With several copies, the nearest count.
Chain A
Amino acid sequence: MADLRHLRQDFPILDRTVNGKRLVYLDSAATTQKPRSVIEAIDHYYRTSNANVHRGAYTLSVEATEAYENARAKVADFIGATDSDELVFTRGTTTGINFVAYGWGLNHLTEGDRIVLTGMEHHSNIVPWQLVARHTGAELAYLPINEDYEVSLDDLDTVVNSRTKIVALSGMSNVTGAFGPVAAVSAAARSVGAITVVDAAQAVPHAPLDVALLGVDFLAFSGHKMLGPTGTGGLWGRRDRLEEMEPTEGGGEMISDVGLYESTWAPIPHKFEAGTPNIAGAVGLGAAVDYLSKVGMSEVRSHERALTKYGIEQLSAVPHLTIHGPADLDNRGGVISFQLADVHPHDIATILDQEGVAVRAGHHCAKPLMRSLGVPATARASFYLYNTPEDVDALVAALHHALELFGVS
């Protein structure tokens, strides 16, 4: 396992205790902890350069604009975008997907057109399409998951049919950890002239990714899931797609001219950034990307792969424990959902919390997937670069305690 243990000291929160125990944070799929460099970048911004960006002819505003646009360049570079105009700052993955749904979907879909999703999507990649389908008369169709928890490609050619205009899928499930078949699906989409939208909330933070090679049209991700501040994220889009997309928020900064009755838009990416942006957030996200780049995304991936291997092994040895997720480590990331006997996931979370172990319990904003799994909720442990095998051990020990409390043996 790539030993990244020395990184833990960069994360102040990992020093705290919970219920008298060392904090064992296993909920990075929900949001990640922040290294000192990110916290300090925000702090430094407010103490030295805070001003509104653009249209400012004074030093502070120039500094703030540079900090903001430099962050854009860094984040664009991090995902392999050669043109930083293709990177729109958003509040998170959810906002990014909604922008595409409303901004591109609304004016490209008509009655009877098809939007294809998969059976493992997060609500963020379902609800916006339902809303847009309702507005346009388009229909939704799903690529289901198979018994290996992977998106089934059996009916790819019939599901992605000639009426299909948009295919939207996750790069990695936040429930099962399964990678989405982005390459196969986007090829099918291209062959019928449809665009591909990737929900990369779990993909961008955990492995090297290069949008220039992916062959997709849009890709949305969240800054707060990759060491960055809350309220940040990015939407990458191919230049021509962004240019044919309508803005979904109107206001300052996104305009070229405003008349009483008509307005014209600024060039991309500003067209999609109405109003004062989350400047300190972007600066913090830039620092997060610096941190990740220094560690190296291949290191992050191999660390998590090894930790997932260890986690699956150890959890599989816990009696009455079932894991919902692919066995193939090359086809999954560091998210492990499980059931433990008849102990409800919320009870698991409460019991683990007493031992300082933080896991998430619930439907993980993926109710349709939960229905396929046949469970209303799971408990979920998810890893990041700061986790260690000892964290897995603490989890396993606490699960044994849960079995005891529930009198299961």
Chain B
Amino acid sequence: MSLEELYREVILDHYRNPRRRDALAAPTAHAEGHNPLCGDEITIDVAVSDGTLTEIAVSGQGCSISQASASMMAEAVTGKTLEEVDTLTGQFKSMMGIGDGADPIDPERPGATLGDLEALQGVKKFPVRIKCADLGWTTLEEALSSD
């Protein structure tokens, strides 16, 4: 368990410069997520049209892990079909060792499916922080299911 593995540069970059913060002109769904154990918060607006997540806006506050994960997620899901988003969510949760395992990833090469998000795999070794990494994803799921 090395802290250097947890606090990768790309994570700190997303923490300090979170992507997709701009409010959406016409969101079609919205959700607020909250980690009662630590107080982290994520709020998500999405615009979905024709089965595609065309735009997303993320805001919130919390630790580097929760904020960076949500920021990377926002990048990763934009422009994807809802089916692709669903698969990606499953794959991310698989990497974290949570979820139903329906969307496995190659544990040796998570980057092959998850790209930048691979940087978060160090979180798995810090069990308390898994919920932080997962917060954005759970909030997104909620937004999409409230649609």
Determine whether A and B are in direct contact in the complex, meaning some CB atoms lie less than 8 angstroms apart.
yes
Task: Check A107 for interface membership: any CB of B closer than 8 A.
Answer: no
Bound-state CA distance A241–B34 (Å) is: 23
Q: What is the total number of residues of chain B having a CB less than 8 Å from a CB of chain A? A: 26
Bound-state CA distance A376–B63 (Å) is: 11
**Among residues 339 to 374 in chain A, which have CB atoms less than 8 Å away from a CB atom of chain B?**
342-347, 350-351, 354, 361-363
Q: With a CB–CB cut-off of 8 A, which chain A residues contact B126?
A: 350
Contact B6 A376, beta carbon cutoff 8 Å: no
Residue of B nearest to A267 (CB): B36
Task: Please judge, given known A-B contacts A256-B34, A376-B39, A407-B12, whether A354 and B62 are in contact too, CB under 8 Å.
Answer: no
Contact B36 A344, beta carbon cutoff 8 Å: no
Residue of B nearest to A19 (CB): B1
Among the interface residues A54, A350, A377, which one has the most CB atoms of the partner chain B within 10 A? A350
Contact A354 B12, beta carbon cutoff 8 Å: no
Task: Check B124 for interface membership: any CB of A closer than 8 A.
Answer: no
| Of the residues A19, A342, A346, A406, contact of B38 by C-beta under 8 Å | A346
Contact B36 A256, beta carbon cutoff 8 Å: yes
Task: Check B98 for interface membership: any CB of A closer than 8 A.
Answer: no
Bound-state CA distance A346–B132 (Å) is: 10
Contact B7 A55, beta carbon cutoff 8 Å: no
Q: With a CB–CB cut-off of 8 A, which chain A residues contact B37?
A: 54-55
Bound-state CA distance A362–B38 (Å) is: 6
Contact A266 B36, beta carbon cutoff 8 Å: yes
| Of the residues A343, A344, A405, contact of B62 by C-beta under 8 Å | A344
Q: With a CB–CB cut-off of 8 A, which chain B residues contact A377?
A: 38-39
Residue of A nearest to B60 (CB): A376
| Of the residues A267, A342, A362, contact of B16 by C-beta under 8 Å | A342
**Among residues 118 to 147 in chain B, which have CB atoms less than 8 Å away from a CB atom of chain A?**
126-129, 132
Among the interface residues A55, A347, A377, which one has the most CB atoms of the partner chain B within 10 A? A347
Residue of B nearest to A344 (CB): B63
Q: Chain A 17-40 against B: per-residue CB contact (8 Å), 1 yes, 0 no?
A: 001000000000000000000000
Task: Check B61 for interface membership: any CB of A closer than 8 A.
Answer: yes
Task: Please judge, given known A-B contacts A57-B128, A350-B128, A376-B61, whether A405 and B3 are in contact too, CB under 8 Å.
Answer: yes
Bound-state CA distance A19–B126 (Å) is: 12
Task: Please judge, given known A-B contacts A54-B37, A266-B36, whether A405 and B7 are in contact too, CB under 8 Å.
Answer: yes
Q: With a CB–CB cut-off of 8 A, which chain A residues contact B7?
A: 347, 405-406
Bound-state CA distance A377–B61 (Å) is: 10
Residue of A nearest to B41 (CB): A376
Task: Check A72 for interface membership: any CB of B closer than 8 A.
Answer: no
Bound-state CA distance A270–B34 (Å) is: 15
**Among residues 49 to 74 in chain B, which have CB atoms less than 8 Å away from a CB atom of chain A?**
61-65, 67
Contact A57 B6, beta carbon cutoff 8 Å: no
Q: With a CB–CB cut-off of 8 A, which chain B residues contact A345?
A: 63
**Among residues 2 to 53 in chain B, which have CB atoms less than 8 Å away from a CB atom of chain A?**
3-4, 6-7, 12, 15-16, 34, 36-41
6 tightest A-B CB contacts, nearest first: A346-B63, A344-B63, A405-B7, A347-B63, A363-B39, A376-B61
Would you mind naming 20 contact pairs between A and B with Cβ atoms under 8 Å apart? A57-B38, A57-B128, A57-B129, A62-B127, A256-B34, A257-B34, A270-B36, A342-B16, A344-B62, A344-B64, A346-B38, A346-B63, A347-B7, A350-B126, A354-B3, A362-B39, A376-B41, A401-B3, A406-B7, A406-B64
Q: Known pairs A56-B128, A256-B36, A376-B62. 17 more at Cβ < 8 A?
A: A55-B38, A57-B38, A256-B34, A266-B36, A267-B36, A342-B16, A344-B63, A345-B63, A346-B40, A346-B63, A346-B65, A346-B129, A350-B63, A363-B39, A376-B39, A401-B3, A407-B12
